[in-house]
A and B are shown apart, each in its own frame.
Chain A
Amino acid sequence: MKAGFLALPLIALPFVLNDFWLTQIATRALILGITALSLSFLATYLGVVSFAQITLAGIAGYTIAYFGPNTVGVGIKLPFWVSIPAALLFSVTAGALIGYIARRSRGIYAIMITLAIGVAFFYFTRQNYAVFNGWTGFSGITAPVVAGTSLRDPSTLYFLSLATAAIAVVLVSLFARAPLGLAIQAVRDAPSRVMALGIPVTTPVVAAFAFSGLIAGGGGILNVWYQERISSFSVGLGPIIDVLIIAVIGGLRHPLGAFLGAIVFVLLDTFAVDLIDRDRFNTLIGMVLLIIVMVAPNGLQQLAADAVAKLRAKEHQSGKSARIKTNT
C-alpha cells in the first residue's frame, strides 16, 4: 500500500517531466542516492561512517569503462553481461578488503582510515595509466544497447535507476533482518559481547562492507553510463564529500534518507545559480550541512518522520473530537 503510493508517481515521472528535469534532476538524484545508500547502510547498521564508498562505486565504474566501448583506446571489450557482473564482483571484493583493513576501527578512526583509503585510490588512478589511464581517465563510454534502445536513453536510464534503487532498498531491508544483518547490528552495539556469543567480529564487519560494495557498485555502473566518462576526479575528495553530505542531510539513521538527501543536493546544485553566485555553491552547501548537523543531526528523514507523526497525532485527535461531536 505504502510502497504503491510512492511507486506510482515515481513511475509516472517520465510522462510528466521534460528531459532536463528527468535526466538532470530525477535520474541524477537516484544514482547519487544509491551510492549514498551504501554509506547510510553502513552508518545505520554497522555504525561506521565510511568515506570509501565513492571508491567502491569508482571501481565498478572503471571496470565498465575498461571492459566496454570507450574512445581512449585503453581496455578490452567484453559484452555487457560479462562486464556488469565483473564490475559488481570487483566492488564487492574491494568492499570486503576495506572492511578487513578497518575491521578493528570504530568511530573517528574508521572515518580516517576510509578517508585515507579513498584518497590513496584517487592518487593511484592519477598515476596508473595501464588500467586507469591516469588523470584523464576514460571518455566516450556508451551504455549497452538492449533490444534496440540505448540504456542511456533518458526514460530508459531513469527506469533503470529507479529499479536499481528499489532493488537496493529491498535488499537492504531484507539483509538487515537476516541473521548476518542482525550480527552486524550487534557488532555496532557491543562488539565484545558479540565475541562472547561465539561470533567472530571480523566476519560481520567484512560482510557489511562487502554488501555496501554491492550497492555502491550498482550506483557506480549507472553513474558511468550517465556521465559517459570516468576519471580520477570522479573518485576524488569532491565526490567523496558530496556523497557524505547527501547521506548526512538525508539522515544517517535510516537508509531511505539517502534519496531524500540526494534530491535536496541535486536541486541545490542545479538551482544555486538562481539563489547566489554560481561560484559560491560550496559556501551554500557547507552552510546547509552545518545547519543540518547543528539543528537536525538525524537529517531530513527524521524531520519528515517527526512531522508525519505529529500530523497523524493531530488527525487522530481531530478525528476523535469529530466522533465525540457526532455522539453528543
Chain B
Amino acid sequence: MRLFLIVTLNGLTLAALYFLAASGFSLIFGLMRTVNMAHGALLLLGGYVGYDVVELTGSWMLGIACGGLAAALAGAAVQAGILGWMQGDELRQTLASIAISIVLADLMLWYWGGITYQVSLPDILSGGQKLPLLGVGYANIRLALMAFAVVVGVMLWFLIQRTRFGAVIRAGVDDQDMLRALGFPIGRIFIAVFALGSALAGMAGVIAASALSISPGTDLQFLLSSLVVVIVGGMGSIGGAALGALLVGLAEQYGLAYAPTYGVVFTFGIMVLILAVRPQGLMGRSEQ
C-alpha cells in the first residue's frame, strides 16, 4: 500500500512534468498544425539557461523566468526565421524542425558539455513533507511541481477560453483563412503562440532540472514523452494533454514499479493501441 502510494505520487509528479512539456507542444500544433520536433531541444535550452541564472543570482524564480524567456526567444526566432516560411507544408516543417533540433542539441552539447546538471533548490523547496491523511513523506519540490502544473493548466485554460487573445487562437484553430481574411496579423500571432509554447517548454526544462536533473538526451526524452502524451490525449487540446500526461506518467511509474523490464514498452504499447483504434487521440477531434 505504501509502495502503491509512493508510486502513484511519483506518477503524478511525472505527469505534471509531462503536462508542462506537452502543453506547449500541443498549443503550437493546435493552432498551426506544426509538429515542432525541436520542442525537446528548446526545453533543454531553458533548463541550461535556468541553471546558469540560478547559479549566478541564487534566485530560483528568476531562473525559471529566464529559462522560459530564453526558450521563448529561441522559439520565436525558429518560427519567424524558418518554420513560418513553410507554413502549410507540415511535412517540410517537421523535417526542418528535426534539423533544428539536431543542430541545437549539438551546439548545447558543445557549450554545456556532456555533464548532468541539477539546479540547487531554495530552502522552502528543499526537504520533504509528511503528507496528512496519506501518511507518507514526499519531497517539497515534487509537490510544488504538481501545484505548478495545475496552476499553469488553469492559466492556459483561462487564456484560451476567457481572453481576447485566446478567442483569436480558438478562431485560428477552426479556420485560419477566416482570421487572415478578417485582417488579423496571422504571422505575428503564430510567432507569439510559438513563443508561448516554447516558454512553457523552457520553464518545464528548469523545473525538470530542479526536480530531477538534465543532461544531453533530456531533449529527446521530453520530445518523445510530449509526442506520446499528445498522441494519447489528442493533438491540440490542452485537456487532452492533461489526460494524456496523467495516463502516460502513471503508466510509466506503475510499469517501472511492477513490471520493471518492460515499463517503457508498456507506455508505447498504450499509445499504439489508442492510435490504432482512435487515431485522433482520446480527446482529439477527427481530421475529416
Contacts and interface: CB of A to CB of B under 8 A. Distances in A.
Interface of A: 49, 100-102, 104-105, 107-109, 111-113, 115-117, 119-120, 123-124, 127-128, 237, 241, 244, 248, 279-280, 282-283, 285-287, 289-290, 293-294, 297
B276 A101 contact: yes
A146 to B, nearest CB: 38
Interface string B81-98: 010011001111011101
B92 A120 contact: no
A254 to B, nearest CB: 16
B99 A101 contact: no
A124 B272 CA distance: 14
B158 interface: no
A111 B265 contact: no
A279 B107 CA distance: 10
A242 B106 CA distance: 15
Given A286-B103, A290-B99, 7 more contacts: A107-B90, A115-B224, A115-B227, A119-B224, A124-B262, A289-B95, A289-B98
Contacts of A117: 268, 272
Contacts of B187: none
Contacts of A49: 91, 94
Nearest to A104: B279
Contacts of B220: 237
Interface of B: prevailing SS? helix
B224 to A, nearest CB: 6
B276 A280 contact: no
Interface residues of B, number: 39
Contacts of B90: 107-108
Contact of B100 (A108, A285, A290): A290
B112 to A, nearest CB: 14
A289 B102 contact: yes
A113 B89 CA distance: 19
A244 B287 CA distance: 26
B231 A293 contact: no
Nearest to B269: A120
Residue picked from B91, B220, B269, most chain A C-beta under 10 Å:
B91
A246 B228 CA distance: 25
Given A111-B94, A115-B227, A280 B110 contact: yes
A96 to B, nearest CB: 14
Given A123-B265, A127-B262, A108 B102 contact: no
A231 to B, nearest CB: 17
Given A123-B268, A283-B106, A293 B276 contact: no
B80 interface: no
Contact of B227 (A112, A241, A248): A112
Given A107-B90, A111-B35, A120-B268, A293 B262 contact: no
Given A101-B275, A116-B228, A123-B264, A283 B82 contact: no
Residue picked from B89, B94, B103, B271, most chain A C-beta under 10 Å:
B103
Given A108-B90, A280-B110, A124 B265 contact: yes
Contacts, number: 105
Nearest to B105: A282
A119 B227 CA distance: 12
A297 B276 CA distance: 30
A137 B100 CA distance: 31
B101 to A, nearest CB: 8
B279 A105 contact: yes
14 contacts: A100-B276, A108-B94, A109-B287, A113-B272, A116-B271, A117-B272, A120-B264, A120-B265, A120-B269, A279-B110, A283-B106, A285-B102, A286-B103, A290-B99
Contacts of A105: 275, 279
A241 B82 CA distance: 20
A257 to B, nearest CB: 14
B92 A101 contact: no
B261 interface: yes
A286 B231 contact: no
Nearest to A48: B91
Interface in B174-191: none
Interface string B57-85: 00000000000000000000000001001
A287 B103 contact: yes
Nearest to A291: B99
B113 to A, nearest CB: 11
Contact of B231 (A112, A120, A297): A112
B99 A280 contact: no
Given A49-B91, A113-B272, A127-B261, A286 B96 contact: no
The 4 nearest A-B residue pairs measured at CB? A120-B268, A286-B102, A286-B103, A290-B99
A274 to B, nearest CB: 18
Contacts of B95: 244, 248, 289, 293
Contacts of A115: 224, 227
Nearest to B264: A123
A100 B277 CA distance: 11
A42 to B, nearest CB: 13
B99 A297 contact: no
Contacts of A282: 102-103, 105-106
A112 B35 contact: yes
A127 B259 CA distance: 11
A108 B280 CA distance: 12
